[in-house]
Amino acid sequence: MIHSTFPPASLSIPYSPSEPGLEDMIKKVRSEGKFESTSDFSKIGNVDAVTLAIQTPFKDKGELEPDFGALEEGIRQIGKNLNEGVLVVLESTITPGTTKGFAADILNEESGLIPGEEFALAHAPERVMVGRLFCEKNGFGKSCIINH
């Protein structure tokens, strides 16, 4: 069973013409009982792996400084509900050192667990463009960098 925090099960599936095939895929896996949506982060306590994919826009495009606000909140919510033995994968466009430093520190602070010892932490760089999710995910292999 795949758990997702978006969209909540009570909401209709948002159709986006920028992601052809998404609406049909979500309906299919929901009807087969393979996908559950919830806004309840405590569900993280029931999974073996968590993938966090949050856009990291620039605060100011002239400065090229990333805005990690949403990413930080997502990491904190995971940390508050993280159990030992879980794999946490960040799949966002982030600067070098963000996973091993920023994310690891927040997850440790929120969970009390030690990254690389009590839970695994990895970064899988994004390799898709908006509107080409299914097309590109089927054509690329996946890289995953794990912090030991």
Burial 60-71 (b: 16+ CB within 10 A, else e): eeeeeebebeeb
Q: What is the pLDDT of residue 135?
A: 57
* Co-location of 31 and 51 in the same domain: no
98: its two tokens: 């963000």
* Co-location of 9 and 65 in the same domain: no
| DSSP summary character for residue 62 | T
3-class secondary-structure state, position 49: strand
Supply the range of the domain harboring residue 123: 45-147
3-class secondary-structure state, position 73: helix
Q: What is the pLDDT of residue 39?
A: 75
* Co-location of 77 and 119 in the same domain: yes
Q: What is the pLDDT of residue 66?
A: 86
Q: Are 23 and 15 in contact (CB under 8 A)?
A: yes
- Note the pTM of the prediction, 2 decimals: 0.72
As for how many domains the chain has, the answer is: 2
Q: What is the dihedral of CA 44, 45, 51, 55, to 10 degrees?
A: 40
Q: Which segments of the chain have a pLDDT < 50? A: 1-3, 5-15, 143-144, 147-148
| DSSP summary character for residue 43 | G
Q: What is the pLDDT of residue 12?
A: 45
3-class secondary-structure state, position 144: coil
Task: Give CA–CA dist 68/80, Å, rounded.
Answer: 18
Q: How many CB atoms lie within 10 A of CB 87?
A: 15
* Co-location of 76 and 124 in the same domain: yes
Which domain CATH number covers 139?
3.40.50.720
Q: What is the pLDDT of residue 15?
A: 43
